[in-house]
Structure 1
Amino acid sequence: MVFNDTIWSVHPSSINVHDKYVAVNGFDVSRDKQYIKIDGVASDNDDDEVCLQLLDVNLDYIFETLDIGNAMFGGIATGKFYASNLFSKEPHLRTPGLHVERISYNQAMLGNADIVSEWDNATRGVAIKAEIKQPNGRSSYIDGAIFPLNDSLDFHFSADKIDVRFMRPFMEAFTSDVSGYASGKARLYGTFKYIDMVGEVYAEDLKLKLDFVNTYYSCTDSIHLTPGRIDFHDVVLKDIFGNKAQLNGWVTHECFKKPRFEFRVTDARNFLCFDVTERISPDWFGRIFCNGGAFVKGIPGFIDINVNISTAPNSTFTFVLSDTEAAGEYTFLTFRDRAELEGDIKYADEDPRIAAVKRLKDRLSKRNDEEEQATVYRMNLQVAANPDGEMILVMDPIGGDRMRARGNGNLRIEYESANDEMKMFGSYALTQGSYNFTLQDIIIKDFTIKPGSSIAFHGDPLAATLDIQAVYSVNANLSDLDESFLQDKDLNRTNVPVHALLKVSGDMQQPDISFDLEFPTLTQDTYRKVRSIVSTEDMMNRQIIYLLALNRFYTPDYMGATTKGNELVSVASSTISSQLSSMLGQLSDNWSIAPNFRSDKGDFSDMEVDLALSSYLLNNRLLFNGNFGYRDKALNNNSFIGDFDIEYLLNKSGNIRLKAYNRYNDQNYYVKSALTTQGVGIMFKRDFDNIFSFLRRLKKKDNDKADDKKESEDEKSRKLLEREEVTDSLLMIVPRQ
């Protein structure tokens, strides 16, 4: 016998039927270690009784066959059912003891149940009382009835920390993972296909996953269930790090079908609101902590998310700007769906043409089901960006071109999954960051972004407008440009600090890239002499490439015969520096480590070794930049270099800072007796278009303070006058002695 696609064996038995008399002897149906046995006599006599015995029967088969849907019970049942007076108007049915091992509801295991039931002739239903002994050592109770003639049920639950995973099918419109415990009293009632629930439930350690942003949230609070509605009031919501926000919302449904929901999250502080990995979304991913709120509403198949936040510390967001498609991977092992394999076996004995048509119908049906299950997300994200959050723009995932930046700006991000289209609007002003510049995998250098750079978004993220300046610092010898610098009286030495300046502007996909040179220690006359040599764009590009690749200037052709530099040594030291910097840079995301080796002579007698360190600590409030190294120079009294800057942001915007520094005095640059220079102070920064707008702002603040002072004095005068009036009134009321 086939029952729900499962073969059961029917053993020999005898059944005698005569009028209102049925005698069953040894009826036995079994499968593996499960069996159902029936023995006894059914008649209208009280003394005749039929016994139905179950042993390890899987209830999942029964409820799947009945297609009850939202009332899917499961477990392994063992027990006996007794029936008498079956041919009378008031039959007597009872179950003195039915034990269900690992009873489940909606595929969520609840515990072990002991059930007592009896047929109620008055209500024409099966009255059921059950005790569920849960894995946590507690017990929950069920009292109710099933009415098979009306395809309905009515149960009262008294739960004590029962597992709430049975609620997942009712919340699948916005979450795929629910866990936690529930205590309280509730009523489950309705037909087998249209079911509802009411009650007051206390949820403890309730945890659910918001699928679109891939975040888990937990709470412990009361949930109010009324017919067709679930309400949440002032629920304290926690993310996986324990940060808190407040949740209010509701879910409406029609017998747990056609759900609609609205959730409002407010008072979020350092709250995890986005946690999408690169594997989930290769084009845009990251972990964003926020301050602010969000509003989420939707129905099955569509979810609308509106967020208004400011970035909080430890936030990172990566956007891949390249449209390069990832190469597919070839697999030697292919895993097939067992259901599909069984389908192929099912059609193997049929006519190939008919089987092909049926197989095509099955696959189309499956595809349609998958398309119906796809949920469309629409997101509107208003972000007040600040230096607490880091933005990473990846220009070339393969080559490694990427920019890491922090800054300020107001951004609006719109995304709709139906067409997989993202739009970004706003301007992002960079305050700090770095740009990893690569050229044909030969030159790999980290440029430091200058404050004041910006990225403007006008819709298409790939069509953003760039206005970025970045600096790469190096020491180079001016004599490689022209030997006349060796006799320049304005120079104490020809080996000077040089800033290679990278300028990126225009459309992000086809930006205009130009280069320039800055010399922090040169006089104006010497600088003009350098620019007279580096006077063309072609010469500038050559100088930049040499500075990045070899840490030295390019020698013009007319100087080629007299140059004394050893290019082979420069290539070797630059290559070693680049490779070490690439390896050490992968050790930590919090620290930037960049070693550098330089030498102008082939015997390495003038070796310079530098190690640049930088980091943002204490939620990006403490900025550290250091340069430590060794110089093998005979003219210097101190061969050790220990330069560092430490800045602490006294306010969130960072315009007031406490700064301390230590500088190594290169005595070839400066005529100082001390080996180092230290300093400490407070920095104040204010951006303005012109001096008049700055003065107007200060004047406005002074006027505001004066108004506040005047209001305060007026308030004091008013209170004094009221006090005098009260005193006069008291004098009038109190009789004189």
Structure 2
Amino acid sequence: MLNTQFRMPSEQINFNGQNVQFANFGILDSSGNRATINGNILVRSFSDMNMDLRLRATNWQAMSSTAEQNKDFYGRLFLTTNMTIQGPLAAPSIDGSLNILKGTSVTATVPATQTTIQESEGIVEFIDASNPNRYTMLTTKDTSRKLGQFAPGSNINLNVSSDEEAEFSVIVDEGTGDFVKIRGKADLNTTVAPDGTLGIVGTYEIKEGSYHFNYNFIRRLFKIQPGSRITFSGDPNDAELDVTAVYEANVPPYDLVSRQVPDPSTLVFFKQRLPFEVEMKLTGPLMKPDINFDIVLPEDRNYRVSGDVQDLVNARLSQLRQSPSEMNKQVFALIILNRFVTENVFESGVEGGGVSN
């Protein structure tokens, strides 16, 4: 899955009775950056091993893979870490810090249906670089545990942070190609209790992001607003969203206000295109958020229309906010048709309306 080649050019492992000892044991990534392991493993038997290890790494590339190699989870992952690993091999206690660095670009795909997670067999391969056709896979006898599951008895406590330049993408729908891309700052504490329960506490604040919406041949870009955030308070499924994404539709307001204009002779002034912003607001639980829409005419712009035109448009938008069904109708008209619609959706006073990218 990681598809990263690691080198151990001249490292030694010392065997002293029942102890397997690591003294500055180095693992080099493809750029020569070093992860160092110190400590020992007490081996009473192959089914009874006890670890007392410290792992340190700086600007270390832990993953380098493509969608062709693993479409569910791929990309580049750079990290700095300082952690201790203690206890039984099957249920370790891990404590320390993990910092995700600039240069990271990781993509995950949301599966269309629940699938079996890859088993642990074959995840790590030791390859003789002088003869790549010969290799040995070191695996445990029990391969029934699935990747991503935590064994009972594990106790993990990691402080996880993310550089603002680290990029994460989620392919929401493989069929349509919808995906989300974000960069931001994470300050999280991740724990796994002895019963295997995963807990996350902290905040991920988005600095920059986008949601790429695809419908047939229609492509729309929603920009996620800086300051949007995901707040974790325990169970990651109970995380709270406070995210706003904006799509800009440069369209005339004619069909929006044609029935509100008091003087029909002035309707021509409403055929000027204006940069309306469609806001999609996601709040509440991560797994079942409340989704609300709004349409606004930004105030910090200079328009080639009079103040009276702007006032009438804003008054009409205020009316829409009193009727969620009417607001949603206009929102989806802007997204799909790239124009406003009148009460009769087949009637339009604007030439050249319809779908465009």
Judge same fold: TM > 0.5, yes or no: yes
Partner of 1:292: 81
- Distance in 1, matches of 2:233 and 2:307, equals 41
Partner of 1:149: none
1:416/1:390 CA distance change after superposition, 3 Å: farther
Contact 1:437/1:447 (8 A) holds in 2? yes
- Distance in 1, matches of 2:297 and 2:249, equals 10
Aligned AA for 2:165? Answer: D
Partner of 1:479: 254
1:564/1:475 CA distance change after superposition, 3 Å: closer
Partner of 2:134: none
- Distance in 2, matches of 1:382 and 1:277, equals 28
1:214/1:413 CA distance change after superposition, 3 Å: farther
Matched residue SS, 2:7: strand
Q: CA deviation at 1:281?
A: 8.8
Query: What is the aligned counterpart of 2:113 among 324, 331, 335?
Result: 324
- Distance in 2, matches of 1:529 and 1:463, equals 42
Q: CA deviation at 1:550?
A: 2.0
- Distance in 1, matches of 2:181 and 2:168, equals 6
Partner of 1:386: 163
1:507/1:402 CA distance change after superposition, 3 Å: farther
Partner of 1:423: 199
- Distance in 2, matches of 1:261 and 1:410, equals 28
Aligned AA for 1:500? Answer: V
Partner of 1:18: none
Q: Is structure 2 residue 49 aligned with structure 1 residue 259?
A: yes
Partner of 2:349: 563
1:431/1:464 CA distance change after superposition, 3 Å: same
Matched residue SS, 1:296: strand
Q: CA deviation at 1:239?
A: 1.8
Contact 2:252/2:270 (8 A) holds in 1? no
Matched residue SS, 1:481: helix
Aligned AA for 1:241? Answer: S
Q: Which segments of 5 or more consecutive residues in structure 2 lack a partner in the other structure?
A: 117-140
Matched residue SS, 2:58: strand
Matched residue SS, 1:302: coil
- Distance in 2, matches of 1:417 and 1:443, equals 48
Partner of 2:314: 531
- Distance in 1, matches of 2:286 and 2:71, equals 19
Matched residue SS, 1:509: coil
Q: CA deviation at 1:476?
A: 0.5
- Distance in 1, matches of 2:66 and 2:193, equals 19
Q: CA deviation at 1:466?
A: 0.9
Partner of 1:118: none
Query: What is the aligned counterpart of 1:308 among 91, 97, 121?
Result: 97
Query: What is the aligned counterpart of 1:541 among 301, 325, 328?
Result: 328
Instruction: Work out which structure has the larger RCO, using CA pairs closer than 8 Å and 6 or more positions apart in sequence.
Output: 2
TM-score (normalizing by structure 2): 0.71
Q: CA deviation at 1:495?
A: 1.3
Partner of 1:406: 183
Q: CA deviation at 1:435?
A: 1.2
Matched residue SS, 2:282: strand
Aligned AA for 1:270? Answer: N
Q: CA deviation at 1:566?
A: 4.3
- Distance in 2, matches of 1:385 and 1:566, equals 46
Contact 2:84/2:96 (8 A) holds in 1? yes
Contact 1:453/1:467 (8 A) holds in 2? yes
Aligned AA for 1:478? Answer: P
Contact 1:225/1:231 (8 A) holds in 2? yes
Contact 1:405/1:432 (8 A) holds in 2? yes
Q: CA deviation at 1:380?
A: 3.9
Partner of 2:124: none
Aligned AA for 2:206? Answer: L
Identity of matched residues, %: 26
Q: CA deviation at 1:408?
A: 0.9
Matched residue SS, 1:260: strand
Contact 1:321/1:462 (8 A) holds in 2? no
Map 1:34-45 → 2, pairs under 5 A: none
Contact 1:259/1:299 (8 A) holds in 2? yes
Q: CA deviation at 1:496?
A: 1.8
Map 1:234-253 → 2, pairs under 5 A: 234-253=24-43
Query: What is the aligned counterpart of 1:228 among 15, 18, 23?
Result: 18
Map 1:682-721 → 2, pairs under 5 A: none
Contact 2:253/2:270 (8 A) holds in 1? no
Partner of 2:292: 514
TM-score (normalizing by structure 1): 0.37
**Number of equivalenced pairs:** 315
Matched residue SS, 1:259: strand
Q: Which segments of 5 or more consecutive residues in structure 1 lack a partner in the other structure?
A: 1-210, 328-368, 578-737
Q: CA deviation at 1:301?
A: 3.0
1:390/1:282 CA distance change after superposition, 3 Å: same
For the pair shown, which has the larger CA radius of gyration, 1 or 2? 1
Query: What is the aligned counterpart of 1:450 among 220, 225, 231?
Result: 225
Q: Is structure 2 residue 235 aligned with structure 1 residue 460?
A: yes
What are the superposed Cα offsets for residues 114-145 of structure 1, whole Å, 9 maximum, x if unpaired?
xxxxxxxxxxxxxxxxxxxxxxxxxxxxxxxx
Q: CA deviation at 1:284?
A: 6.4
Aligned AA for 2:231? Answer: A
Contact 2:190/2:200 (8 A) holds in 1? yes
Contact 2:271/2:350 (8 A) holds in 1? no
Aligned AA for 1:446? Answer: L
